[in-house]
Structure 1
């Protein structure tokens, strides 16, 4: 790809904090690429808008990733990125991820309410574009009053791969796999083919193994029905919406309106939750009925409610990702803030990679030694005793600058700037003693620069090509 574009540039890899490193360093420390995808999007959104303080909102097919910018950079999670509930201790941008995207599963729960996500499914419109017979299958479905316990009447399934020899499946699951070998089928079709009750046909095990995939109504289908998006099979999306609408006794247009409001409100929740988390509060809004009562009054006010609530974000939202133009204007309106959708927002991730900087930080700590009048320097590469504090500080500063410079060069930076933070920490001995007691010296040196490019014109061409992708 790079050769086709006549780009002669070094291969750079994004780290979880949005900075860059060389291919060589990535091979040495591959774990530092955790959450690099969302981090790239954040850097791209910042670059495209030049907005220092904002909420970057990246909505994709599966998830929504949110980061809060201050002075143009996201907060760095000092405890490290969390993956699957486990702290990695790998420095990464503080990104809040939610199971809400264009492919989120739209369901009718047992109370007859519309629920969106967090599960991800294939949109009906997308799959039916390749397999239009699904539209015909959806014409024959379950009776309106039939109670489905584990599925939606709109659910269809398609085959992905054979299970491995180590994965145990039942005879019924094997027959499902055989039925889906040729093309996807609706749940109703499978129950007729297997001659079984749908509530006795739990296909989640095969879905969890990645053997089959669930297909159903999603926000992408809602956009096809209301005409905001028309890339795939609109007829399939309409059929799915009609089925769900009939199950709660409303018309197609009303269902689309209700579903759209639910989607927008869910996106508003993600913004509010992100701000609560950004402020250091370990509160999950949806777990508190009182909080949700007040939030819902603001997001979906009733015509006859006796008092109103409202919320506002004191910063704009930068929207990036394919579906944002359809949903974020209403989100910004409900949260009383400005919305910025930059040009080329759909490729902000790629722009973030091209615009990223190399930043390598070295930290050194100096503390009193075991003997009075001595000082011990703690650095990642050595421990060294000194009898004079100024000598220890001078040595630590020079050594930290040298190691930061080497790290930046190894990461791929040709030209860089050294930023030094030096802090001496003292404590008052007592209320009666005017003398201060030395505690420690903290030294932090950061080398920041751009990746090395062979020629400046190649860099400019790289950005032009990315924007045209």
Structure 2
């Protein structure tokens, strides 16, 4: 029997599930377990949750892979606990605050078309490295027009690798769109995570080995797909916000629905995202985390400061709920009641010490001149009302059913459903949906290219993640962009020792018509019979052409 182990480190709990690979949906779940998340040492909570899963020898031996959804990257970015990072800028620096601890500039410059204007100086690069290397644990390299031509970033990177053992990442490796400051800071933050993810993965592997589990490790990325441990060691920033993405994948798996709004209620917050056609809806601008705008592929989320551990405070006639998080009284907290305590008082959820919650509610009720049951009912109604106003009402406007998951989901959303009319789905195993999502997610690698007019109105330039190419004919330019992107996306999947199951491609043509910018998208699946779609140039007028953006997805096996 073959199994997958899914692990999710949430704000309060670390969840684990054991799934059978030949099953789908809730029927795939064999075992599930929870343990408290250990924030100062996430691998300890992972180990405790795995122990609680109580795997027998055949289950441990039969595990084909372990998939982690971890808050490690997000926490490190938010708490500014990145390792010391250096940034080497090629040419002019981006405007705005930089995330690096140490910065050096070296000569080099390209125009917006990707043509070299000033060459990179090897001597200047070595001197910059000599000044910066003693102070940092990792390096980033970034240049202004690297998405149009990555040659100078690559050149500086190779000089660094020849002369230093420091890990180094380039801006063009992190994003293929313009946005110099954001791309630079994404590379810097990624560099700052490299030693952190390295130590974390080593600790997790050590714990797994001690438990007799030797399966390969995958990690969930912020877009809901997964990648191998080796890939994540190179691009750990892509795991930021992996928890909400995993929750959406898990909800797809558990419900079988293709179009849904997912509301994941955790300890501190509720994360709300949308799934359309079984695919997580992504943010076009990346993600804002810890004050940094990062160009990463991540779920488009709306986050509400309401969770099971939110502070519930009555002041006069007003009841304030969140966004502050406190330790629930039932777990030894002393700052006041939480939604978790309210459920302990009503008897609907009693994992911890119910008497502590009842005693605290009694004291607060007496201070308010009320009976305990009346006071608890008042708080209960306030929490349910906030859930409806801030979560359910906005979700209902999408026209999609609301799927509620997370440990408090059934109790709280059930209460709201009793008072208000809306389309609610609470899947079986809702309390471990994130871990299910981790186990069920599949590999997906994306590569992009853009075709724009050449310099001085001559021909077309194809800008890819590998380099730039010139063609006189637009059809040849588009075909080159598709073939390079396809080869790169497939290569990224094969690098993880897997084969692509499906290749999806699209191009979006931007052109001017009647003084307005218009867009036209073409999508298809690349097969052996039809390796590339034929580009139909419907706008023969060169002056109307603006650009064509190409995207190719190489999709590995998915288990949803």
TM-score exceeds 0.5 = yes
Contact 1:426/1:438 (8 A) holds in 2 = yes
* Residue 24 (structure 1) shift: 0.9
Equivalences for residues 130-145 of structure 1 within 5 A: none
Q: Which runs of 5+ in 1 are unaligned?
A: 128-154, 157-214, 276-310, 452-458, 464-469
* Residue 394 (structure 1) shift: 2.1
Runs of 4+ in 1 over 4 A off after TM superposition: 1-4, 272-275, 428-431
Contact 1:313/1:337 (8 A) holds in 2 = no
- Residue 313 (structure 2) pairs with residue 102 (structure 1): no
Find the aligned partners of 1:424 and 1:407 in 2 and give their Cα distance: 26
Cα 1:106–1:53, aligned 2, differ >3 Å: closer, same or farther? same
Q: 2:493 aligns with which of 408, 411, 417?
A: 408
Q: Equivalent residue for 2:438?
A: 353
Q: Equivalent residue for 1:181?
A: none
Find the aligned partners of 1:29 and 1:370 in 2 and give their Cα distance: 34
Q: Whose Rg is larger? A: 1
CA deviation profile, 1:302-361 (whole Å, cap 9, x unmatched): xxxxxxxxx876321111111111110232355521221111111111110111121111
CA deviation profile, 1:388-415 (whole Å, cap 9, x unmatched): 2222222222111111111122245323
Find the aligned partners of 2:398 and 2:366 in 1 and give their Cα distance: 38
Cα 1:329–1:18, aligned 2, differ >3 Å: closer, same or farther? same
Contact 1:373/1:388 (8 A) holds in 2 = no
Cα 1:116–1:398, aligned 2, differ >3 Å: closer, same or farther? same
For residue 272 of structure 2, give the secondary structure of its aligned residue in structure 1: strand
Cα 1:389–1:321, aligned 2, differ >3 Å: closer, same or farther? same
Find the aligned partners of 2:515 and 2:427 in 1 and give their Cα distance: 57
Equivalences for residues 303-322 of structure 1 within 5 A: 314-322=399-407
Q: Equivalent residue for 1:444?
A: 551
Contact 2:392/2:402 (8 A) holds in 1 = no
Q: Equivalent residue for 2:287?
A: 81
For residue 465 of structure 2, give the secondary structure of its aligned residue in structure 1: coil
CA deviation profile, 1:144-185 (whole Å, cap 9, x unmatched): xxxxxxxxxxx73xxxxxxxxxxxxxxxxxxxxxxxxxxxxx
Q: Equivalent residue for 1:144?
A: none
Cα 1:92–1:222, aligned 2, differ >3 Å: closer, same or farther? same
- Residue 371 (structure 2) pairs with residue 251 (structure 1): yes
Contact 2:254/2:428 (8 A) holds in 1 = yes
- Residue 359 (structure 2) pairs with residue 232 (structure 1): no
Contact 2:462/2:480 (8 A) holds in 1 = no
Q: 2:380 aligns with which of 240, 260, 268?
A: 260
Contact 2:490/2:500 (8 A) holds in 1 = no
- Residue 501 (structure 2) pairs with residue 395 (structure 1): no
Find the aligned partners of 1:439 and 1:413 in 2 and give their Cα distance: 37
Q: 1:376 aligns with which of 461, 468, 490?
A: 461
Give the CA RMSD over aligned residues.
2.6
CA deviation profile, 1:420-462 (whole Å, cap 9, x unmatched): 113444434889xx963333222211111227xxxxxxx8xxx
Structure-1-length-normalised TM-score: 0.65
Q: Equivalent residue for 1:199?
A: none
Find the aligned partners of 2:318 and 2:413 in 1 and give their Cα distance: 23
Paired residues, number: 330
Find the aligned partners of 2:514 and 2:270 in 1 and give their Cα distance: 51
Q: Equivalent residue for 1:417?
A: 502
Q: Equivalent residue for 1:5?
A: 60
Q: 1:36 aligns with which of 225, 232, 242?
A: 242
For residue 108 of structure 1, give the secondary structure of its aligned residue in structure 2: strand
- Higher RCO (CA 8 Å, separation ≥ 6 residues): 1
User: Which has the higher mean CA deviation after the structures are superposed, 64-73 or 26-35?
Assistant: 64-73
